[in-house]
Copies of this chain bind each other. A is one copy, B any other.
């Protein structure tokens, strides 16, 4: 297949793409082809509009009155917009803080629910912040952190395990972990399961309810397009909520924050996992960006994600394999998230070179180029352009 053929094929695929109209919801500069939605999603028209309204009407005009009118309910509202994307029931997800802090809360709660157990099991290839946070929880609670490769997690779980944690889609390879197998193994030994859905929500299906997981956390700025540093979220299985402790119990976690009681009474629902005041501007942008998911469904998103990454891997085989590039993501689509990683010795310089030409990807040491393929705005045509730049930078 020549690149001309690839272009023709991309045109056909783009014409058939049911999600193609959603690209109009994003304001991506004309001179940019964007493959870094796995790090920072682009601006949506709706986020711009809502931020303007938040600044000019809610903050400037309504001032403090906006807390009652609009902002106090936002963490729960945003949580309920994220819930269906991860198979969670209403009122089991809440938006707050960042992923690191939410992981701390989830792990502390899980360890608290399994007194006497002595180990936390973690994927050694987990995103570093997850490992640092888990290490800190282990140190603080006197547990050992058992870090093993994903395929060894199940074997590492035992009656000593208090909690198992892993990221559902590996941030480097895009490998999808065996959520059902690992969760079941954890439960069969009486351990709890905390999933990090940073590279899942908005791109890869996940069903917290069917999988019967215990806790999940994730961020708002990748495939959810909430904007730089958008707030994260936390999910707690309803069956665990009442008995789950929260070690960062700020006033927003109180049953009645504005009673200003001296004694802490945890909110009956998922709000008990809040801490202090929500970052309104950042959360408003996330809320606005989430709107787009009401126009489609996760099956359509997943189908296009598989289509995009599969198309790219086909072109990789044709044009890049054997030219210093290696495929570092799974070939089997059922095991692959929504980005594709290529190994390349000069990857850092190449990513920088392409970025200066408007083709934006990212790089992770030592030699991994990552190409996020976001079903809501990337096209098959974008991918041909990417390959052109990789072939002849």
Q: How far is the CA of A124 from the CA of B262 in the complex (A)?
A: 8
> What's the nearest-Cβ distance from chain B to residue A208, in Å?
21
With CB as the reference atom, state the residue of chain B lying closest to A253. Answer: B132
A55 and B48 form a contact (CB under 8 A): yes
> Is A259's beta carbon under 8 Å from chain B?
yes
A36 neighbours in B (Cβ, 8 Å): 63-64
A280 and B132 form a contact (CB under 8 A): no
Residue in B71, B101, B360 whose CB lies within 8 Å of A228:
B71
A229 and B279 form a contact (CB under 8 A): yes
A282 neighbours in B (Cβ, 8 Å): 229, 279-282
B101 and A254 form a contact (CB under 8 A): no
A277 neighbours in B (Cβ, 8 Å): 98-99, 219, 221, 229
> Is A347's beta carbon under 8 Å from chain B?
no
User: With A63-B32, A64-B362, A227-B281 as given contacts, are A250 and B51 in contact (CB-CB < 8 Å)?
Assistant: no
A60 and B29 form a contact (CB under 8 A): yes
A260 neighbours in B (Cβ, 8 Å): 128, 364-365
B98 and A250 form a contact (CB under 8 A): yes
A124 neighbours in B (Cβ, 8 Å): 262
A101 and B101 form a contact (CB under 8 A): yes
- Per the 8 Å Cβ criterion, residues 246-261 of A in contact with B are 246-254, 257-261
B133 and A249 form a contact (CB under 8 A): yes
Q: How far is the CA of A258 from the CA of B364 in the complex (A)?
A: 8
Contact with B along A3-30 (1 / 0, CB 8 A): 0000000000000000000000001110
Contact with B along A22-63 (1 / 0, CB 8 A): 000001110010101001101100011001000110111101
Q: Report copies per complex.
A: 2
Q: How far is the CA of A362 from the CA of B63 in the complex (A)?
A: 12
- Per the 8 Å Cβ criterion, residues 89-148 of A in contact with B are 97-101, 104, 124, 127-129, 131-133, 135-136, 140, 147
> Is A276's beta carbon under 8 Å from chain B?
yes
A128 and B360 form a contact (CB under 8 A): no
Q: How far is the CA of A29 from the CA of B28 in the complex (A)?
A: 34
Q: How far is the CA of A127 from the CA of B262 in the complex (A)?
A: 9
B275 and A98 form a contact (CB under 8 A): yes
With CB as the reference atom, state the residue of chain B lying closest to A266. Answer: B132
Q: Tell me the dominant secondary structure on chain A's binding face.
A: mixed
> Is A65's beta carbon under 8 Å from chain B?
yes
Contact with B along A273-317 (1 / 0, CB 8 A): 001111111110100000000000000000000000000000000
Residue in B32, B67, B275 whose CB lies within 8 Å of A101:
B275
A131 neighbours in B (Cβ, 8 Å): 262, 264
> Is A66's beta carbon under 8 Å from chain B?
yes
B248 and A101 form a contact (CB under 8 A): yes
Enumerate the 9 nearest inter-chain pairs by beta-carbon distance, A residue then B residue, closest first: A100-B250, A98-B276, A100-B276, A228-B280, A129-B251, A279-B282, A229-B280, A229-B279, A279-B279
Measured CB to CB, the residues of A under 8 A from B are: 27-29, 32, 34, 36, 39-40, 42-43, 47-48, 51, 55-56, 58-61, 63-67, 71, 97-101, 104, 124, 127-129, 131-133, 135-136, 140, 147, 219, 221, 227-232, 246-254, 257-262, 264, 275-283, 285, 355, 360, 362, 364-365
Q: A29-B60, A36-B63, A43-B60 are in contact. List 12 more A-B contacts (CB 8 A).
A: A27-B60, A47-B55, A59-B228, A66-B228, A98-B279, A99-B276, A100-B248, A101-B248, A128-B254, A131-B264, A133-B248, A279-B281
**What would be 19 A-B contacts, judged by CB atoms less than 8 Å apart?**
A32-B63, A36-B64, A40-B64, A42-B60, A63-B360, A65-B360, A67-B228, A99-B277, A100-B248, A100-B252, A101-B275, A133-B249, A135-B249, A227-B280, A228-B281, A229-B280, A229-B281, A258-B365, A281-B282
